[in-house]
Amino acid sequence: MQQYIARKGDTVHRIAARHGLTPEHVIQGNPWAGKQPYLYPGQVLYLPSAPRKRYVVQEGDDALSISAWFGVGVGELEKLNPGVNWAYGCSPGKVLVIPEAAPQTVVFLRGEYGPADMEEDIGKLLIRYPFLHAESIGTSILGKPLHLLRIGSGPRHLHVNASLHANEWLTSPCLMSFVEQYAAAYAAGEDWNGHNPGAWYNNWTLWAVPMANPDGVELVQEGGWPGHPYYDELRTWNCGRRSFRHWKANIRGVDLGDQFPAHWEEERNRRAVSGPGPRDYSGRAPLSEPEAAALAQLAEKVPGDAAVSLHSQGGEIYWNYRGYEPPESKALATLLAAASGYRAVELNGSDAGYKDWFIQRFRRPGFTVELGSGKNPLPLADFEDMALETGLVLAAILSNFK
């Protein structure tokens, strides 16, 4: 057992990932950690040694085939198993210690995916793919940059955002993962799941805001502690609950999904939420919150041919808004549904969302995509499937939109 002192930003999942453990290993050594919503900075945890993966050599195996099977280098295998390249070192029945495979991508989950993880990944992506562009379109209430990634040089423009709702943060690495896969395939001159990223690049410019609500995401993942600028207000708005896992709003308790000037007053009256809280408070006016205002300003500056707002969960695609949508929206939604395995749904009785505003303002196709299925925040194990489904939806637009 080794002793570990928790620091700000630590969670069970993040500590486990950092030490080559599973969350269950951490909780097994510290049962109390599974019963409180967050780790307090300064808490002492006892971590077991990272268990090593092992493999019994089979007939016909050699060091090269074993390395390929587990996604590790032969040199790394040799370090833990001296002589494995020799015949006797890889004989059937011999037990080998398998090193941890290094991540093959920049974007991966090392626990919950928060603002700091995204900033680190953006920096690495910019180095690896110089044709990617990054900038900030504004700042959150607490001064965090609202990052924008841009790829492509085409005359058509696709706007995509994620994590408008704080506890839907798993949509952020999904969008980041697609940007990376697109960039990697384009750089290598390869197809992406049967699509041609070279054609995407020449025909489209993709404007991606991977985390539109960074303050809220951080609150959901790490909690609100004494010293937080909104500590007293958050405790009141959250009705005294210590956990913020259910929190959808920004740090001022405004639901960014109800902030856009598309029949905003009707949505406010329908919700009937009079003040800040975890969800459904529309704010004092449309676009009163800097995060929502920044998204609207970006779309006004560069009017899009289409827009997608990534949410979770439900496996559905909403495509209409009060008849403002153009004629091609329904057929395109059917195409996106076929590509992703989701359902195209005609939604009524909802206003003031980003998709609603985009359709009404520009009369262009806009979509809300509800990724995954379950209860928010969705489990980290769903990331791989959700990231692929994100890519399939966006690829269908980039490849087929006329």
Parallel, antiparallel, or unpaired for β 204-209 and 156-162? parallel
Same domain, 68 and 7: no
Same domain, 80 and 168: no
Residue 121 has pLDDT above 80, yes or no: yes
Q: Tell me the C-alpha distance between 248 and 54, whole Å.
A: 42
Q: Tell me the C-alpha distance between 368 and 333, whole Å.
A: 10
At 1 the pLDDT is 80
Q: Tell me the C-alpha distance between 402 and 399, whole Å.
A: 9
At 100 the pLDDT is 85
Same domain, 180 and 81: no
Residue 299 has pLDDT above 70, yes or no: yes
pLDDT in tens, 92-119: 999 999 988 888 899 999 999 999 999 9
Sign for the CA dihedral angle at 184, 186, 190, 196 comes to positive
Would 105 be classed as within a structural domain? no
User: Do 251 and 283 touch, CB atoms closer than 8 A?
Assistant: no
Same domain, 17 and 88: no
Residue 402 has pLDDT above 70, yes or no: no
Same domain, 165 and 300: yes
User: Do 299 and 361 touch, CB atoms closer than 8 A?
Assistant: yes
Would 313 be classed as within a structural domain? yes
Centre a 10 Å sphere on the Cβ of residue 355 and count the other Cβ atoms it contains: 26
The pLDDT of 66-80, averaged and rounded, is 90
Same domain, 195 and 336: yes
The pLDDT of 261-277, averaged and rounded, is 97
Q: Tell me the C-alpha distance between 376 and 46, whole Å.
A: 29
pLDDT in tens, 18-41: 988 889 999 999 999 999 999 999
Give the CA-trace dihedral at 277, 36, 110, 163, to 10 degrees.
-10
Q: Shortest CA distance to 286 belongs to which of 266, 265, 308?
A: 265
Q: Tell me the C-alpha distance between 370 and 382, whole Å.
A: 13
Count of the separate structural domains present in the chain = 3
Q: Tell me the C-alpha distance between 295 and 121, whole Å.
A: 21
Would 70 be classed as within a structural domain? yes
Q: Tell me the C-alpha distance between 198 and 302, whole Å.
A: 22
Would 336 be classed as within a structural domain? yes
Residue 384 sits in a domain whose CATH number is 3.40.630.10
Residue 274 has pLDDT above 80, yes or no: yes
At 291 the pLDDT is 98
Q: How confident is the model at residue 52 (pLDDT cuts 50, 70, 90)?
A: confident
Residue 8 sits in a domain whose CATH number is 3.10.350.10
Q: Which sequence positions are flagged as catalytic?
A: 370
At 332 the pLDDT is 97
Same domain, 78 and 125: no
Mean pLDDT over all residues of the chain?
A: 95
Same domain, 36 and 57: no
At 125, give phi and psi (nearest 5°): -65, -40
Same domain, 313 and 346: yes
Would 239 be classed as within a structural domain? no
The token pair that represents 255 in the structure block: 């639901």
Q: Got the DSSP string for 242-301?
A: S--TT--S-TTS--GGG-SSSSHHHHHHHHT--S--SS----SSTT-SHHHHHHHHHHHH
The pLDDT of 240-261, averaged and rounded, is 97
pLDDT in tens, 345-391: 999 999 999 999 999 999 999 999 999 999 999 999 999 999 999 99
At 10 the pLDDT is 95
With helix as H, strand as E and coil as C, how does 148-194 read?
A: EEEECCCCEEEEEEECCCHHHCCHHHHHHHHHHHHHHHHHHCCCECC
At 334 the pLDDT is 97
At 237 the pLDDT is 98
Same domain, 80 and 148: no
Same domain, 63 and 160: no
At 85 the pLDDT is 85
Q: Which range has the top average pLDDT, 79-83, 128-132, 397-401?
A: 128-132
Would 18 be classed as within a structural domain? yes
Same domain, 188 and 335: yes
At 89 the pLDDT is 79
| % the chain with pLDDT above 70 | 99
User: Do 311 and 165 touch, CB atoms closer than 8 A?
Assistant: yes
pTM, to two decimals: 0.92
The token pair that represents 169 in the structure block: 């943060």
Would 278 be classed as within a structural domain? no
Would 13 be classed as within a structural domain? yes
Range of the domain at 300: 115-216+287-400
